[in-house]
Amino acid sequence: MIYGPVREVRRQFAGGDVLVAGEGDFAAVPGVVNATQVDGAWRLALAEGVTPAELSCALAARADLAIERFEVALPLLGEIFIRTVGEHHTKTSTPPSSPISSSHRRPGRGPGS
């Protein structure tokens, strides 16, 4: 179960992505492993160990980039729900058991007994 204010829950589930609005080749910035356009902004996936603060400094130091907006990308509640339900399902599911063949049934315990 997940509890707390919506914004706090979204922050808890935030990954290593940031949203940047601006102009330039954001994919070429060190520390960015993937850059995709989303609703007029760029969603930048950060390399392992790179923080949003470090990326912010790296972007600010680049004269070839124009930054209009920078924010940590927060997941939608639907994404959190799917991730949470998927984790819960993985933890609680057991492999299906094989059906018992008629040769393994005890006498008087099956159909027609």
Residue 66 sits in a domain of what CATH number? 3.30.70
Residue 107 lies in a domain: no
Give mean pLDDT, residues 78-91: 74
Query: CB within 8 A of 82, min separation 6: which ones?
Result: none
Give mean pLDDT, residues 10-29: 85
Residue 93 lies in a domain: no
pLDDT for residue 44 is more than 70 = yes
Residue 67 lies in a domain: yes
Residue 39 lies in a domain: yes
What is the pTM (predicted TM-score) of this model? 0.61
Query: CB within 8 A of 56, min separation 6: which ones?
Result: 18, 70
Are 43 and 73 a contacting pair, CB within 8 Å? yes
Residue 77 lies in a domain: yes
**Block residue for tokens 């390399």:** 47
Give mean pLDDT, residues 53-57: 94
Domain extent at residue 74: 6-88
**Confidence band of 104 (pLDDT split at 50, 70, 90):** very low
Residue 27 lies in a domain: yes
Residue 19 lies in a domain: yes
Q: What's the longest Cα–Cα distance across the chain?
A: 84
